[in-house]
Structure 1
Amino acid sequence: MNAQVGVAMGISQNLEADNNSFLCDSGSAGAVPQKISGCAGLKFNDFDRLREGVKFEAGQTWAIYNNTVDQMPRLYAQIRKVSAPCFSLRITYLEPDPDGEKETQWFEEDLPVSVGKFRLGENKSTQDRSIFSHVIHCNERSNTSCFSITCRFIDTCHFSVSPRKGETWALFKNWDIKWSSELDSHRKYEYEFVEILSDYADEAGVYVAYLHKAKGFASVFFRMGTGYEGIFRILPRSLYRFSHRVPSFKLTGDEGNGVAKDAYEVDEAALPETIEEFIMPSNSESETKSEHQAIYFASEGKVFQTGQIWSFHSGYDDLPLYYGRIQKITFTQAFKQDPVIKLHISRLKATRFPEDVINWKYGGMPVGCGTFYARKVQEIITPSEVSHQIMPQTSMDGIEYTILPKIGEVWAIYRYWSRYIDVDRLEFGLYDIVEILDDTLDYKVQLLTQQPVSDDRNDMEHRLFRACTEYTSNEDDGSEPIFTIPKTERIRFSNKVPATRVTKEMYGELEDNSKVEFRATPINVIHC
């Protein structure tokens, strides 16, 4: 058992041992001693209200102050039961469950872990609210046994915790994953503070901006500079650089003189005792320049704008296998003729694959999902070649674009796939059509099959697909209608198929269907 979790469990055990008087007690006996900040200054929010008894609900996950080194809120516990009127909680601790070799060594050396993968641990009871800091958001993945309230089933549940856009976090200053082999040199931590600018993604990591403590305020932090200044990316392999989340409220600038708009007031209980302070700029100094307005045109029911990412048709089957960024739009119209719109695009090229992701053996194979960058060479296409707009996760420097399957989307996947598929053999390949059900850790997908008749025989541009309830093929591979595609095998996804959810009467019964774009659907699709 990791020491940081064990210490917190010991706190709860002491609370249980002292609870023999059968009296309501919400005191702090056995609790982690709270730090008293020696920093005088203006305050605007009461963070203790976040931890009032009425804020606790079953099913929540809370950050808990650890009782080692610096008492930061790095431990997590799930609320199983809330008792009243005598306030009492039944909680289950979350224990780190890292996958990587270096991360596992970090955890085994009792170094702090506040992000990544976790599993459910020991169950304890407590009456003390002072050990809790704030509610956290975590993604849960489990098998069906996890829906039972019986504790013996919960060890199959897994959770992931990662920084979310708009949060404020502390980073370990001068962090290095090799600290696990130099323990004596890194037991006293120093911190840097950041604002999270993007949700964490497995491919791109997370973008953050430095925050600085404002002089004259108890715990107000602000960004220094404008634009891209102070912004940087933390890659997935450096995720353990995050020490802990710091609860905060975003300020409007109307709180008082000298308060900058979009500054943060943070919880002092999650801060170290001493922090360097800076003079906060005025609102006028912190305003950013407006961005250059993009040019746009409407054509064939689509609105094109410079800077957009679109999927376009190409290749042997005219499928939307490629992505392009619109760099320029030209418009010409000859006398008494229809206008001609041309899209000048930079085709997106996949970046180097992560080591744990399978790549194609042969060059030239299209890449449907991953991280991309726009090539400098431009090519011209027409609106008729465009399939659908892509909303990627864009890096803060605007250079890289991450495109991954999302819940609710419909994709074509290679039926018989391997990394040795050659682009010259694609016309002989077979495909499945699937809907993404879950994308938390791996891709849980539902196999779809085409309806034998269309809802509108005059609509030649769309087809109806429904969920398979059973798979009647004799093939072994992928024979279940719901199955999982590991994220390491993401090259199995060929292309996204634009689809809308519709309910239609089929053979006298109402059915949920996906109305998909026929042109984006491969010809060689296997049906249930």
Structure 2
Amino acid sequence: MCRKGRRVCTQPEISECADPKFNDFEKLRADANIAVGQTWALYDPADGMPRLYGQIRKVSAPSFGLRITYLEPDPDDEKQIQWCEQDLPVSTGKFRLGKNENTKDISKFSHLIQSHEGNNTGRHFTISPRKGETWALFKNWDINWSSEPDSHRSYEYEFVEILSDYADETGVFVSYLHKAKGFASVFFRIETGPADIFRIYSLYRFSHMVPSFKLTETEGKGVPKDAYELDQAALPKKIQEIMVPSESNSKPKRQEIYFASKGKVFQTGQVWSFCSGYDDLPLYYGKIQKITFTQAFKQEPVFKLHIGRLKATTPFPKDVVEWRDRGMPVGCGTFYARKALEIITPSQVSHQVIPQVSLDGNEYTILPKIGEVWAIYRYWSVHIDGEDLEFGLYDIVEVLDDSLEDYKVQMLVQESYLDDDDENYNRYFKGATEYVDNEVEGSEPIFTIPKSERIRFSNKVHALRVTKEIHGELNDLFCMEFNAVPINIVLH
């Protein structure tokens, strides 16, 4: 396991420059701010970044002294365990109490960190990014660095603003921050488009939190919008800088609107699947054209998404069969966005979809891809109509290959052993060893679906790969949101 608690922490050298500074970060780590029970980030001697953690056990006075207990990584995921066994850096995830140390050296402390107890024993903790914080990412990160650890002891970084609290099922949304030329450590967002806002699922991609202050544009001349001043003590010496765009010289752009809700970040221009009738499955797609909200006095704002529903283009290609009932939902194919807008709420939305967009921007192609999980109609024909969906039966499959004339898929079955232990009502599935309900293809759990029959794919199911212990053994499973799985699958 990782042995970070045994390292000697020293504060990195901070290069002095004449560029403007606005906040005094040293005040954050004054000894008067340290109290028993707090968790502090300490500098890692590997490269001076604050990614080690110590819990304050005792504060001595009048002669200042501290007794701390280091937090040591305590992963339960196989890939994360391999990462830790190679002593690669860890700043997020699960931790346990490690060795104790007495110190009078305040210079090894960077900033206060929020940790959450994992159980009632007070010996296990979790640390994850929170909305409004600023963090460094490992550039070109790959969880498989553990296979060649000595090639990954020197790091480059990217910097992001956290747009939503981290959740196991949905990850965390972040936006890139860029260092502004002409300032000591001011970072700002250039765009709010899809290229700059993205989702991170693996916590081990995060290197360390960077203390920061949100700027208001009133601090000095040329301070950019959406900017933070970051703590230089948590930054590498060399960071690429860019000029702050001049508002007078830049072309006016349409202001992108976004907001975060329950781990999801909604933004104009995105395409999402959403639920409407038919057991509330995410059978439909909509492009967000506008976001509005109302807010009563002392109440949380109520957001509404104005979407252009995606409709399947017709006629279908000659080699693809169509539903006889034109009212049947189409889960994959080529779509266009209706100009007439509908209003839905964030609670109706399932997951974001990244379609292939035509050059003219008018058509959106959504097809099953390798690694995705989809619900398919079990007993199906082109004569199924909308009324049949209420009683229809489904199977859950993983797409193994999409490059052939047929889709190669594997049947997934529910692992009900874990259901009662999941407080979020998620459902867990694993690869089947036999397809007992398949009367057409036989009992093999791996089979093909002709691309000409792609309408058999009902809806994509947002699924995360996780490792869970079952009866003392680690199992690779898919974790799926309860509402995205047909109810007759859940009960099957």
User: How high is the TM-score relative to the length of structure 2?
Assistant: 0.56
1:348-427 equivalences in 2 (<5 Å):
390=347
The CA distance in 2 between the partners of 1:80 and 1:36, in whole Å, is: 29
Paired residue for 1:4?
4
| Counterpart secondary structure, 2:193 | coil
* Letter in structure 2 aligned against 1:4: K
Paired residue for 1:181?
147
| Counterpart secondary structure, 1:192 | strand
User: Given that residues 214 and 221 in structure 1 are in contact (C-alpha distance below 8 angstroms), is that contact kept between their aligned partners in structure 2?
Assistant: yes
1:11-410 equivalences in 2 (<5 Å):
32-67=10-45, 69-142=46-119, 144=120, 146=121, 154=122, 157-236=123-202, 239-282=203-246, 285=250, 289-290=254-255, 314=278, 390=347
| Counterpart secondary structure, 2:7 | helix
Paired residue for 1:461?
none
Paired residue for 1:462?
none
The CA distance in 2 between the partners of 1:396 and 1:167, in whole Å, is: 26
In the TM superposition, residue 113 of structure 1 has moved relative to its aligned partner by 0.7
Q: 1:290 to 1:493 in 2, by over 3 A?
A: closer
The CA distance in 2 between the partners of 1:275 and 1:495, in whole Å, is: 43
Q: 1:288 to 1:387 in 2, by over 3 A?
A: closer
| Counterpart secondary structure, 2:198 | strand
User: Given that residues 311 and 389 in structure 1 are in contact (C-alpha distance below 8 angstroms), is that contact kept between their aligned partners in structure 2?
Assistant: no
Identity of paired residues, percent? 52
Paired residue for 1:446?
none
| Counterpart secondary structure, 2:58 | strand
- What is the aligned length? 335
Task: Name which of structure 1's ranges 194-203 and 89-98 shifts more when overlaid on structure 2.
Answer: 194-203
Q: 1:288 to 1:165 in 2, by over 3 A?
A: farther
User: Given that residues 246 and 266 in structure 1 are in contact (C-alpha distance below 8 angstroms), is that contact kept between their aligned partners in structure 2?
Assistant: yes
In the TM superposition, residue 398 of structure 1 has moved relative to its aligned partner by 11
Task: Name which of structure 1's ranges 279-288 and 259-268 shifts more when overlaid on structure 2.
Answer: 279-288
* Letter in structure 2 aligned against 1:233: R
| Counterpart secondary structure, 1:210 | strand
| Counterpart secondary structure, 1:390 | helix
In the TM superposition, residue 345 of structure 1 has moved relative to its aligned partner by 6.5
The CA distance in 1 between the partners of 2:136 and 2:218, in whole Å, is: 26
Q: 1:209 to 1:124 in 2, by over 3 A?
A: same
Q: 5+ unaligned residues in a row in structure 1: which ranges?
A: 12-31, 147-153, 294-306, 329-342, 348-372, 379-385, 401-421, 426-433, 444-485, 497-528
The CA distance in 1 between the partners of 2:308 and 2:27, in whole Å, is: 54
Q: Which has the larger radius of gyration?
A: 1
The CA distance in 2 between the partners of 1:286 and 1:55, in whole Å, is: 46
In the TM superposition, residue 160 of structure 1 has moved relative to its aligned partner by 1.9
In the TM superposition, residue 40 of structure 1 has moved relative to its aligned partner by 3.1
Paired residue for 1:381?
none
Q: 1:43 to 1:98 in 2, by over 3 A?
A: same
User: How high is the TM-score relative to the length of structure 1?
Assistant: 0.52
| Counterpart secondary structure, 1:193 | strand
The CA distance in 1 between the partners of 2:252 and 2:126, in whole Å, is: 36
User: Given that residues 260 and 282 in structure 1 are in contact (C-alpha distance below 8 angstroms), is that contact kept between their aligned partners in structure 2?
Assistant: no
